[in-house]
Amino acid sequence: MVVAFVAIAKSVGQQCLKRSKPYSNSYFSSYGVQKWQFQSHRTLILQSASESVKLERLSDSDSGILEVKLDRPEARNAIGKDMLRGLQQAFEAVSNERSANVLMICSSVPKVFCAGADLKERKTMILSEVQDFVSTLRSTFSYLEALHIPTIAAIEGIALGGGLEMAMSCDIRICGEDAVMGLPETGLAIIPGAGGTQRLPRLVGKSIAKDIIFTGRKISGKDAGSIGTCLTCHSSFVKRQSSSVFPKLPPLLSLSYQYKNEGDVCKPLDNSIGLPACSHSTGG
């Protein structure tokens, strides 16, 4: 499965030559971004405050493919304060890396992409801390969405709550049929707090999105492929995409990425999220 994800990323990377404009370091002023450096000309290392997020350059790639790897097995890659800081720093580093053509987000944990927010940690927070966390999570995913290179979420296993919201912030989602996705927050008497209520309808339409959000039901990778949440990944699919679809991207990339965030469906989520912060007090 990982080989399939890499094949797609390489195909995109070979076509994408447009450099992204670096974002200001003040974007994440509340957390700050530590220095990152090249360990060698093949591997990019982010010296992050979080050990659960790793930023690497694919060792066998000449296509400018960077990988953000989630690595918190004891919590099924649940996003807590520490991981969130790591994600912020990783996305900032990608934005400022001029040789980057493609970003792929994946997991080092078998059968897990991301289980969502760390609810155990959230129970220890006071309301103001929860509000700050949810706001920062939302802005981090919006920052990911605004990156000026193609972004791919490689989903193997579970992607729930904030994990699915992060994947939906990417341009492309690739998953296997054994993937399990959902926004189960309503089962906890809360709502998706990091963009799921806006991005899911844009992907699958209002009716299907309401069904998934209101019921909190989980969907398989196969179902996700059929309704448009993800592209289901098969070896034949990868071969077909590499040979027919991605070679057509070059004349479109400069235009599509110039206007990627100009349309109504890509306006900042702050324009459409006006919900009380207490709605996200126990889940994400």
Distance CA 260, CA 145 (A): 9
Q: Which of 93, 115, 117, 179 is catalytic?
A: 117
Alpha helices per DSSP H over the chain: 2-15, 81-96, 119-122, 127-146, 162-168, 196-204, 206-215, 221-227, 235-240, 250-258
What residue type is assigned to position 29 of the chain? S
Q: Determine the 3-state secondary structure of 82 from DSSP.
A: helix
165 is catalytic: yes
Out of 80, 162, 193, 196, which one is annotated catalytic? 162
CB 127 within 8 A of CB 91: no
- C-alpha pair distances (Å), 5 with each of 1, 66, 92, 155, 242: 7, 12, 23, 9, 11
**Out of 185, 193, 196, 221, which one is annotated catalytic?**
185
Token pair 């999220």 in the structure block, residue = 273
For the question of residue 117 being annotated catalytic, the response is yes
3-state secondary structure of 103: strand
- Is 75 noted as a catalytic residue in this protein? no
CA distance 116 to 184: 10
Out of 92, 116, 165, 225, which one is annotated catalytic?
A: 165
C-alpha pair distances (Å), 200 with each of 129, 181, 258: 26, 12, 23
Please give the order of strands across the beta sheet that includes 219-220.
112-114, 158-160, 180-182, 219-220
154 touches 5 (CB < 8 A): yes
Three-state DSSP class for residue 273: coil
Other Cβ atoms within 10 Å of 26 Cβ, number: 9
Is 100 among the catalytic positions?
A: no
Catalytic residues: 117, 162, 165, 185
